[in-house]
Copies of this chain bind each other. A is one copy, B any other.
Amino acid sequence: MPDPATAPDAPPAAQPTTVHRLTLGDILREHRRSRPRTTAAVDGRVRLTYPQLDDRVDRLAAALPSAGAAAGSRVLYIGRTSVRFQEILLAAARIGAIAVPANWRQSTDELAFVLHDLSPAVVLWQPEPAADELASARAAANAPERWIRCDGASNAHPDADAYTAFLHSGRGAAPEPPVTGADPVIGLYTAAFDGRPNCALLSHDALLANSAALLRMRAVGTGFTFLNSGPLFHVGTLMFHLATFYAGGTNVYMPDFDPAEAARLIEAERVDHMFGFGPMLDAIVAANTDENGHPRHDLSSLRFTRHSPAWDAQITVGTDPWNASGMGGYGQTEVGGMLTYLALGMGGAGSAGRPSPMAQVRILGPGGEELPVGATGEIVARGPGIFSGYFNRPALNARKMADGWYHTGDLGRREDDGTITFIGPCARMIKSGNENIYPAEVERALTSHPDVAEAAVIGVPDPAWGQSVTAVVRRAPGSALTADQVIAHVRAAIASYKKPRRVVFVDEELPRAGHGHDYAALDAAYGGGGYPGEAGTG
């Protein structure tokens, strides 16, 4: 459209985009000025103020080009949770490169795939605990990238290890290419479509949009201190790491989760928030309770969600929307963290709350049409927090971004009060009598019966209907539930055409693949097949 500010006879205004720029690198430059005395990072014995962090990032950004990194290059980090990744990310941001924190728990084959897939310019790696796997992967990949070893815990002394020596080799100002907020700056490997993992790219703009939403939802403000108690290659920890940096707070790092050390750090650094869920929280309470039942360390600075009487007694139960809502919502790596927040729909009909202020959400049918309230379909999203696509996956990206909406691959439903319920992954759709049936929705109805311990749904070829629904059910111990009862229960809960035609009861646990059912194994065992995708009609 015409830009009236630069009207017909006018020369273009001076760099109209530059005046609006706010990259991760810009934020660090601002923090060094606005927060010269604030501790940016605590990692073992290392403590860095924002000016010190900015100086180190400048050095690393000046060194990276000597190792072959340039704008658009991938810089791979294979190591524990550490300020080193923050330095690598911010240095990559400054030169327009993309920092990718990889899961060091992967097998040799998986690591070799990442090396081959990503063709990084530089690999920054820790020798423990995956030294053998890494060496084998490196040999298998036989790639020309520069490998730089990071030993043990972080250390600020120039002669501590190869990483530190490399950082200190950076001299003078790094070349600063015209980085824009739309440039990708982080890559995170995520779920395997097409049988292989994909590297989701997130731009400066997307990271800041999601951070700005978290600032509101978790009341992240001046002096906020976050304990990085989970892996930085998962968005759950990374999103709070970034929000804390964005707000000019303090990031505290643990290389691995250790409950006693977590309790010590919470007291020593007056930690406000951490990454944690049930078993982690129980472990902290156990480690932090002495033989007389008293806390060893004062955890009251931690404002966290309610969990158990013992946990609630040691911490401060948070009243901000995020903690008060039990950190509920729906999210994904590809949306940069949370797409919906339960805090925006507490007490509503939907289990996942309402969309982030940074997102639009629609529920689409298989033909791409928007579905009415109450109907289950694919969750799609649009907004500044959405990722930029997967690295080097043009066909997949075209599919996932069809019609200008990001297709999450997950099923949801808009309730009549506007809130959203997350149902489960789309997985494979069943087509029966021209109706679309999503296994996750039927499974949800099945497991809502108290006598059902576990259930999976497959489609079985049917000459009349195309496919028909088979439910594989493991009953609760001692239950005498019948197939008719199961079918009647589903029929009462969701549309009748979605009910199973056949129920198979099993005694053993259902086979699993990753976090979900192993549908291939279930199909093979119970006669599944004829899915629309297979028939080319999906």
Chain A residues in contact with chain B, CB under 8 A?
A: 1-7, 9-11, 13-22, 26-27, 29-30, 33-37, 71-72, 74, 96, 98, 177-179, 181-184, 201, 205-206, 212-213, 215-216, 219-222, 246-248, 321, 343-346, 354-355, 357-362, 382-384, 386, 388-394, 397-398, 401-406, 414, 416-419
Which 6 pairs, one residue from A and one from B, show the smallest C-beta to C-beta distance?
A18-B404, A10-B394, A5-B389, A34-B418, A1-B71, A2-B72
Tell me if B184 and A5 are in contact (CB < 8 A). yes
Interface of A (DSSP majority class): loop
Question: Nearest CB to that of A205 among chain B residues?
Answer: B20
* Complex-state Cα separation, A384 to B183, whole angstroms: 15
The answer to whether B26 touches A391, judged by C-beta atoms less than 8 angstroms apart, is no
Copies in the complex: 2
Chain B residues whose C-beta falls within 8 Å of the C-beta of A22 in the assembled complex: 358-360, 382-384
A-B contact list, 22 entries, CB within 8 Å = A4-B392, A7-B392, A9-B394, A10-B392, A14-B404, A18-B404, A20-B382, A22-B358, A22-B382, A22-B384, A30-B361, A33-B362, A33-B418, A34-B354, A34-B361, A34-B418, A36-B416, A37-B417, A181-B384, A215-B357, A216-B216, A221-B344
Task: For A359, list chain B residues within 8 Å (CB).
Answer: 22, 30
Say whether A36 contacts B397, CB under 8 Å: no
Beta-carbon contact of B355 and A30 below 8 Å = yes
Q: Once the chains bind, are A2 and B401 in contact (CB under 8 Å)?
A: no
Contact of A212 among B4, B16, B248, B357 (CB under 8 A): B357
Residue with the greatest number of chain B CB neighbours at <10 A, chosen from A16, A71, A216, A343: A216
B4 contacts A398, C-beta separation under 8 Å: no
Out of B10, B26, B355, B391, which one reaches A5, CB within 8 Å?
B391
Q: Given A22-B359, A33-B362, 14 other A-B contacts at CB below 8 A?
A: A3-B388, A4-B201, A5-B388, A10-B394, A15-B401, A16-B388, A16-B389, A21-B404, A29-B360, A30-B360, A34-B354, A212-B212, A222-B344, A222-B346
Q: A222: which B residues are within 8 A, CB to CB?
A: 343-346, 354
- Distance between A116 CB and nearest chain B CB, rounded to angstroms: 15
Cβ of B183 and Cβ of A386 under 8 Å apart? no
CB distance from A290 to the nearest CB of B (A): 36
User: Which residue of the partner chain B has the closest CB to A71?
Assistant: B1
Closest residue of chain B to A218 (Cβ to Cβ) is B216
Q: Is the CB of A389 within 8 A of B357?
A: no
Q: Which of A10, A11, A321, A384 has the most CB of B within 10 A?
A: A384
Chain B, residue nearest A360 (CB):
B30
A328 to chain B, nearest CB (A): 14
Q: How far is the CA of A22 from the CA of B406 in the complex (A)?
A: 13
Q: Taking A5-B388, A26-B382, A184-B5 as contacts, is the C-beta distance between A321 and B404 under 8 angstroms?
A: no
Q: How far is the CA of A424 from the CA of B417 in the complex (A)?
A: 49
Chain B residue contacts of A418, Cβ below 8 A:
33-37
Cα distance A49–B388 in the bound complex, in angstroms: 34
CB of A396 to closest CB in B, whole Å: 10
User: What CA separation (Å) do A184 and B3 show in the bound complex?
Assistant: 8
- Find chain B residues with CB under 8 A from A16 CB: 388-389, 401
A95 to chain B, nearest CB (A): 10
Closest CB in chain B relative to A399 CB, distance in Å: 9
**Interfacial chain B residues near A96, Cβ < 8 Å:** 1
